[in-house]
Amino acid sequence: MPVYHAPTVLGNFGISWSSDRLLATFLPGDARMIAETPRADAPPWVLRLGDHVARHLAGNLQDFSVLALPFAELSPFRRRVLQALQAIPAGQTSTYGEVAAFLGSPGASRAVGQAVARNPYPLVVPCHRVLAAGGRVGGFSAPGGISTKLVLLAIEKAC
């Protein structure tokens, strides 16, 4: 699986793709980002995404909700959760319970949390914008854990 390492102010951001679609993204420091594909071998749309990510992490916030992602391969519930996350704008947050209620399943905050933790597209699908009840930061399964989540929220001026 090719992985382009897009340089950002936080370190290399990984973008994995197949011929015409995004497979996964990796926040800086993610150990799964082993192989590096040279810039010359990455398709133009991957390079553009890398540039957008670099601008976003430098504070020039980008709207990634316009990306067509291959959600069809996910379970219907996970797809709905990730689509709900895409609707949370930069600078704003939501809680697991609010996302569950938005989906019409107010008792499903734990299931939402599990779907968020398995997000294959961190940053592009902003799982870092989801907080625990009462606005507490909660967990974050990405490299660096909660400190990475706080950095991403600070870049977006959401905390």
Q: Which pair of tokens denotes residue 105?
A: 């399943």
Predicted local confidence at residue 81, as pLDDT? 98
Predicted local confidence at residue 138, as pLDDT? 86
Residue 145's alpha-carbon distances to 2, 74, 80, 106, 128, in angstroms, are 25, 24, 24, 26, 10
Active-site residue (options: 123, 127, 130, 158): 127
Predicted local confidence at residue 75, as pLDDT? 94
Low-confidence ranges of the chain (pLDDT < 70): none
Predicted local confidence at residue 25, as pLDDT? 96
What digits encode the pLDDT tens for the residues 70-104?
998 899 999 999 999 999 999 999 999 999 999 99
Domains, the chain: 3-66 (no CATH), 71-155 (1.10.10.10)
127 is an active site residue: yes
- pTM for the whole thing? 0.92
